[in-house]
Amino acid sequence: MSTGELILGIESSCDDTAAAVVAEDGTVLSSVIVSQASLHDRYGGVYPEVASRAHVDKAIPAVRMAIEDAGIRPKDLRAIGVTRGPGLIGSLMVGVDTARGLGQGWGLPVLGINHLRGHLRSADLNERRVSYPALILLVSGGHTLLAHMRDQDTISLVGSTRDDSVGEAYDKVARMLGLGYPGGPVIDRLALQGQDRFGLPRPMLGDGLNFSFSGLKTAVRRLLESDPNLEAADVAASFVAACLDVLTQKCERALVEYPSESLVIVGGVAASPQLREVAGKLCESLDVKLCLPPLKWSTDNAAMIALAAWDYVRAGQGTDLAPTSRLSIEQY
Ligand code: KG4
Ligand code: ZN
């Protein structure tokens, strides 16, 4: 491996400590993800202070493992890309400080990366999938948004949630049903055994490209309060059906408004088999290419941060290393 062909990515914006080594063409040489899910399970969501402390323990071991797994030495790296936001401020600070220290020790530039741009690039990991113009549906624990990309460098936000993200709604409904954290995978599995029989609201379905999920969450709470003996699988199936109706209808509307070659679905909820299936049908009917990241890179990881960092290298961006809890997808 010759010098300068690789970027080390570091991700610690929420509850996963991750490090990865990625080449400019998207080839992933290593990807290490240390999950903290078991630490947060008892709280039914991420406990920020616990998350920061766990990042302190795991950041360096994760980097060491990523370098070892890739079979490289630090001198083979061109730069370090680290998530600087959006996310939990304490967690971000740990990642950025770790990257700064390593950059100084190894004589490497450190680039501050927007986590949302990382998710965007996850669909091109290990294989180029996205063709432009592209419509992006980003569905994670922290965000639910639609963006249009005229080309790989031009991003316009065209819709976003007014309140909760869809991932947050999954997590809160899972908590109401006593299913633990994170809620997405367990709700999906349970939903497969139930029926959509409760006619839950589809918030803002007929209305533009913005989303709202807090009303749906409240509707589930009221439903459970009205009858504590309801079949949990039917509640999960009704909830998932409502989410999917909203997500697919908004994508369809956005694809009419912003004609695109690909629909790119990224973020933790893109791991949902149900969402993958309905999106596949939608794209088939509209003759649009569906681009999805491999399952393991739908949820938070550092490979996507490293690939995004290559964009920053080309654009001469990433000098701002200040951790920030808020950052738009349109910003670097
Ligand atoms: O992208 P991500 O790992 O972290 C953020 O940037 O927020 O997304 C985490 C979210 C959680 O809300 C989790 O419940 C959801 O993604 N999630 C899923 C699935 N796997 C994770 N939601 C639905 N179905 C899944 N299989
Ligand atoms: Zn994320």
pLDDT per residue as tens digits for the range 95-152? 999 999 999 999 999 999 999 999 999 999 999 999 999 999 999 999 999 999 999 9
Q: What is the mean pLDDT of the chain?
A: 96
Query: Confidence class of residue 42 from pLDDT cuts 50, 70 and 90?
Result: confident
Tens digit of each residue's pLDDT (9 = 90 or more) over 147-170: 999 999 999 999 999 999 999 999
What pLDDT, on a 0 to 100 scale, did the predictor assign at position 4? Answer: 60
| Ligand 1 mutation target, pool 120, 136, 140, most atoms within 8 A of CB | 140
pLDDT at 212 over 90: yes
DSSP H or E segment with residue 44? none
Burial class (CB within 10 angstroms; exposed 0-12, middle 13-18, buried 19+) of 225 = exposed
Q: What is the pLDDT of residue 3?
A: 46
Give distance in angstroms: CA of 62 to centre of ligand 1: 21
Q: Is 188 close to ligand 1, i.e. is its CB under 6 Å away?
A: yes
pTM: 0.96
Alpha helices, H only, 81-231 = 89-106, 115-121, 166-176, 183-191, 214-226
Residues 319-328 have a mean pLDDT of 98
In this model, does residue 44 exceed pLDDT 80?
A: no
Full strand arrangement of the beta sheet holding 77-85: 28-35, 16-23, 6-11, 77-85, 110-114
Rounded CA-CA distance 308/63 in Å is 18
The gap between the terminal CA atoms of the chain, to the nearest Å, is 29
- What integer pLDDT is reported at residue 36 of this predicted model? 87
**Average pLDDT for 217-223:** 97
Q: What pLDDT is attached to residue 45? A: 79
Strands 154-160 and 144-151, sheet pairing: antiparallel
